[in-house]
Amino acid sequence: MYAVTGASGQLGRLVIENLLGKVAPEKIVALARDPAKIADLKTRGITVRTFNYDSPSTLAPALEGVEHLLVISSSEVGRRTEQHRAVIEAAAVSGVTFLAYTSILHADTSPLGLAVEHLATEALLEKSGVPYALLRNGWYTENYTASAPIALQHGALLGSTGNGRISAASRADYAEAAAIVLTQANPAKAIYELAGDESFTLADFAQAITDISGKPVEYHDLPEAEYKAALISAGLPDWLAELLANSSARASGGALFDDSHTLSSLIEHPTTPMRSTLEKALQA
């Protein structure tokens, strides 16, 4: 059986849809801390189980019958290493024969603050003895398209990325790759640096908003502290503003760039162009 944690999340749902194209629903276990959120999957023949990273003793029983497990990294930044530790320990004592984990692009060298918990999780996996693959995901294009309406409102896109190039891909691309890796017949230990085929600067992204909408949007590059302050004044909590400003500033040195084309090789087609994802977002 193939199981996916965080199945109620945006990536998780897309992975489940991909799995449905590869294996029978009876072979899929969707794991979520709130199973009510994915009750629709049950009606499609998928097994739905409660799986809360914060309840370690419940995790191994929830993995009964699971051979290949996709661990989608938790969204609770700052608590993730301990949460992932609980999942890895449960996998190690249950029948899981292969675990794939969604890490961050170039986790071992990434200067992003976000990489710390991912790297710690990778180390836990290595120690666990469970055969594993690392899906080191680059940025979702949707991280940027989500803020396109606000940029349009103000005619300005803010960031601290300078001329740093970002090799983003759509969530759907990463989900497709995850389903492919999870359903391999004889998965081997592997590290996949996954990123988009094309890269863009935030100035390119602002230009794309302008081109698609017909309304001018300019990119304003700010020092990290000023960008953080702008995010706080827009209503973001301090921790999230810190995290976003840190990621944006570190990306100026190329931390979110990758030209290995590993993702398109794995999914056997080009990754979704930034402009396609943006067009979809602006139509929505």
Ligand X SMILES: NC(=O)c1ccc[n+]([C@@H]2O[C@H](COP(=O)([O-])OP(=O)(O)OC[C@H]3O[C@@H](n4cnc5c(N)ncnc54)[C@H](OP(=O)(O)O)[C@@H]3O)[C@@H](O)[C@H]2O)c1
What residue ranges bind ligand X (CB under 6 A)?
Answer: 6, 8-12, 32-34, 37, 51-54, 72-76, 83, 102, 137, 139-140, 143
- Minimum separation from the CB atom of position 190 to ligand X (A): 18
When the beta carbons of 26 and 34 are compared against ligand X, the nearer one is: 34
When the beta carbons of 166 and 215 are compared against ligand X, the nearer one is: 166
User: What single string gives the DSSP state of each residue in 70-111?
Assistant: EEPPPS-TTSHHHHHHHHHHHHHHTT--EEEEEEETTTTT--
- Minimum separation from the CB atom of position 185 to ligand X (A): 26
Contact indicator for 193, 258 with CB cutoff of 8 Å = yes
Both structure tokens of 45: 């023949």
Q: How far apart are CA 264 and CA 140, in angstroms?
A: 14
Q: How far apart are the first and last CA of the chain?
A: 36
- Minimum separation from the CB atom of position 186 to ligand X (A): 27
Q: How far apart are CA 39 and CA 53, in angstroms?
A: 19
Ramachandran sector of residue 199 (left: φ over 0; alpha: ψ -120 to 50; beta: rest) = beta
When the beta carbons of 27 and 80 are compared against ligand X, the nearer one is: 80
When the beta carbons of 128 and 143 are compared against ligand X, the nearer one is: 143
- Minimum separation from the CB atom of position 10 to ligand X (A): 4
Contact indicator for 8, 68 with CB cutoff of 8 Å = no
Helices (H) and strands (E) in the chain, counts: 13, 9
- Minimum separation from the CB atom of position 62 to ligand X (A): 11
When the beta carbons of 77 and 218 are compared against ligand X, the nearer one is: 77
Both structure tokens of 7: 């199945």
Name which of 74, 248, 267 is nearest 166 in CA terms.
Answer: 248
When the beta carbons of 9 and 159 are compared against ligand X, the nearer one is: 9
- Minimum separation from the CB atom of position 177 to ligand X (A): 12
